[in-house]
Amino acid sequence: MQLRPYQEAAIEAVYAHLSAKDDNPCVVIPTGGGKGVIVGKVCADVVQRWNGRILVLTHVKELVDQNATQASRFLTPLLVGVNSAGLRRRDLDHPVIVAGIQSVYQKAGELGRFDLVLIDEAHLIPPDGEGMYQTFLRDARVVNPRLRVIGLTATPFRLKDGPICAPGNILNQVCFEVGVKELIRDGFLSPLISKAGKAKADTASLHVRGGEFIPDEVEHLMDAEDLVRDACAEIAEHTQARKACLVFAAGIQHAEHVAATLTTATGSEVACIFGHTPDGERDRLVARFKAGQVKYLVNVGVLTTGFDAPQVDCVALLRPTLSAGLYYQMVGRGFRLAPGKDDCLVHDFGGNVLRHGPVDALKIKEPGEREGGAAPAKECPQCQAVIATGFAACPQCGFVFPPPEREKHEREASSAGVLSGQVTTVEHPVRQVFYGVHTKRGSPPEAPRSLRVGYEIGQDQVHKEWVCFEHTGFARGKAEAWWQARSALPVPTTAAEACRLACGGALAPTTHITVRTVAGEDFERIINHKLGARPREREPGEDTEEPAFQFTAVVASDDEVPF
């Protein structure tokens, strides 16, 4: 079986780490990135290359079944055993055992010696205490003191405790990581688009317990009649052309309410799955959803991991969460590729994208760290798209956002996007151009100054750039090219001279600018200008009196200037 390049790199990184160090490594690969293939290849290598024995641990029967299937693709199924109460198998002696931790955590002695334990969904390992993983590994090291552990996860952090890798933890270091953005770019994951619900719940009144909103309060808030009705109407509207919609509800009563309302709104069958749904019924409903017989599947916290339905092209978040990991796992159900699937819509009614930011650049706070700083996403007030940081205009509807100065006061939008690195370019007609001399705050008197150019594109909307005539090297070269494109006069040597000439009409008018914004970067960039006719050079003896002009020395705040 041909592995993807990043899968091969991940496996090689694991082996290099195990050879060079004495601790336990972790591999971070996004949901939908093919962690199961890595599991299967590592199992085959342990058995065939090193004549060893490996145990694969996880926490849900669906992942036990998937990992056993992957291992059997690389090895004969006769070498792969399963120990899982949910799958009704109790194998003990195979070279490869794939097990549910709940089924084996007290049976390390019965299972015998292993050379390697691979833990899938390793973010679920508790940080300390007498958890099932700690219990099993303590006993397994009695059988083999040289036992090594590998972790696999898409989210290497916990809500309350921070990173899962630390010197005193079961897993000690991330040895390989690839991001969502890279896999989307390379065609291995589905692109995401995000839309905030017009129907919004105000979470300000919710209390927090153990780092998460209190569940009963969340369900009461989200189950309001008007909110459910309006949210289901929006979901129905935006999923008409989509094939499979997975809905995350806030509780059982809420899920049943959503299912009934969504059935009325869409005229389609809507299925519900809860934690107490019998296994046979759950399997039947999931199978119908995967087969396309049911378009809408509502669940309460049971389809976040171990659920593989590539055709999901809409994820509706009808619950808020403070857990970045849970947010990632819910959104991640739409990452996988499928025939005819162009992207996955994340329809968020809980403010989660605004709260947590891009799924490929989640900012995990250290334990005890206080909330603060700018909101990590912004919502278009015209079409409800949730888009990347700093976008001057919505790439979906064209709405032009107010500049930061106005935004601080008006709060028409917050500030980041569903995926970092998203790029948008927008061309704006220029109404007026302003020039000034810029001196960087706190710089010594002899420091070089620059020409500050402001392009007004709308009322109170100005994009700026700085032209560095007094700098050297690359910056001076750019300044020379900038001037020569606009004027027949010699390139000025100082910012003050450039400002005087510019204000006196020495430059071609700028009619349009193209602005480029990249999610995760602090500054927008002007990447292109459309210019009018360049002023002609005066003939010898021609009146050289320059028109009247004014220019002002400008001091801009350091956070406004990109150098």
Q: Are 195 and 167 contained in the same domain?
A: no
Question: For residue 115, is it within any domain?
Answer: yes
Alpha-carbon gap, residue 479 to 466, rounded angstroms: 9
CA dihedral 532, 536, 537, 542 (to 10 degrees): -140
Per-residue pLDDT tens over the stretch 143-152: 999 999 999 9
Question: Could you tell me if residue 234 is inside a domain?
Answer: yes
Whether residues 48 and 172 fall in one domain: yes
Residue at a domain's end among 127, 152, 178: 178
The SS3 call for residue 371 is coil
Q: Which residue has the tokens 């991330």?
A: 174
In a domain, 260, yes or no: yes
Q: Provide the residue count of the chain.
A: 563
Q: Is 538 helix (H, G, I), strand (E, B) or coil?
A: coil
| Spatial separation of the C-alpha atoms in residues 327 and 295, rounded to whole Å | 22
Total domain count for the chain?
Answer: 3
What stretches of 85-161 adopt beta strand conformation (E)?
Answer: 89-90, 96-100, 116-120, 148-153, 157-158
HEC letters along 430-462:
CCEEEEEEECCCCCCCCCCCEEEEEEEEECCEE
**Residue 211 CA: distances (Å) to CA of 352, 357, 367, 423:** 15, 18, 10, 33
Average per-residue pLDDT for the chain: 84
Of 159, 178, 197, the last residue of a domain is 178
Amino acid identity, position 469: F
Residues 447, 343, single domain; the answer is no
pLDDT digits (tens, 9 = 90+) for 156-203: 877 566 788 988 889 999 999 998 888 998 999 999 888 888 888 889
211 and 127 co-located in one domain:
no
Q: Which two tokens stand for residue 383?
A: 């079409």
**Could you report the per-residue pLDDT of 75-108, keeping only the tens digit for each?**
999 999 999 999 999 999 999 999 999 999 999 9
Backbone φ and ψ of 141, nearest 5°? -75, -15
Token readout for 25 is 């490594």
Helix (H, G, I), strand (E, B) or coil at 98: strand
Instruction: Tell me: do 492 and 464 sit in the same domain.
Output: yes
Specify the pLDDT at position 545: 45
Query: Mind spelling out the 3-state secondary structure of 317-355?
Result: ECCCCCCHHHHHHHHHHHCCCCCCCCCEEEEECCCHHHH
Cβ atoms 476, 422 nearer than 8 A = no
Clarify whether residues 393 and 446 are in a common domain: no
Least confidently predicted of 321-325, 332-336, 402-406, 448-452: 402-406
CA atoms within 13 A on the CB side of 380: 21
**Where is mean pLDDT largest: 15-19, 398-402, 417-421?**
15-19
Residue 556 makes CB contacts below 8 A (sequence gap 6+) with 438, 441, 452
What are 52-81's pLDDT values in tens digits? 999 999 988 889 999 999 999 999 999 999
Residues with Cβ within 8 Å of 107's Cβ and at least 6 positions away in sequence, in order, are 83
Amino acid 461: pLDDT: 76
Task: Note the pTM of the prediction, 2 decimals.
Answer: 0.66
Angstrom CA distances, 287 to 61, 244, 292, 297, stand at: 15, 13, 9, 11
Same domain? For 435 and 460 the reply is yes
Q: Same domain, yes or no, for 142 and 229? A: no
Strands 212-213 and 208-209: antiparallel
**Count of H helices and E strands in the chain?**
16, 27
Q: Are residues 200 and 349 in the same domain?
A: yes
For residue 184, being part of any structural domain is answered with no
Predicted pLDDT at 550: 33
**DSSP secondary structure string for all residues of 220-286:** HHHT-HHHHHHHHHHHHHHTTT-S-EEEE-SSHHHHHHHHHHHHHHHSS-EEEE-TTS-HHHHHHHH
Q: Are residues 320 and 438 in the same domain?
A: no
Rounded distance, CA 175 to CA 33, Å? 17
CATH of the domain at 151: 3.40.50.300
Residue 206 forms part of a structural domain: yes
- Cβ partners under 8 Å of residue 299, min gap 6: 246, 247, 248, 249, 255, 272, 273, 274
- The CA distance from 396 to 193, in Å, is 10
Q: Chain-centre distance of CA 292, in angstroms?
A: 28
Question: 380 and 361, same structural domain?
Answer: yes
Residue 226 has pLDDT above 90, yes or no: yes
Give 359-390 pLDDT, tens digit per residue.
766 655 544 444 444 455 677 776 666 765 55
Q: Chain-centre distance of CA 438, in angstroms?
A: 37
State what percent of residues in the chain have pLDDT above 90.
56
* Cβ atoms within 10 Å, residue 472: 9
**For a pLDDT cut of 70, what percent of the chain falls above it?**
82
Of residues 96, 99, 98, the one with CA closest to residue 79: 96
Number of other residues whose CB lies within 10 A of the CB of residue 363: 11
Lowest-pLDDT range of 22-36, 349-363, 547-561? 547-561
In the listed set 419, 443, 475, which residue is the last one of a domain according to the structure? Answer: 419
With beta carbons less than 8 A apart as the criterion, state whether 242 and 314 touch.
Answer: yes
Does residue 210 share a domain with residue 79? no
Q: Which domain holds residue 311?
A: 189-419
254: pLDDT strictly greater than 50: yes
Contact between residue 358 and residue 519 where contact means Cβ atoms under 8 Å apart: yes
Is 183 within the bounds of a domain? no
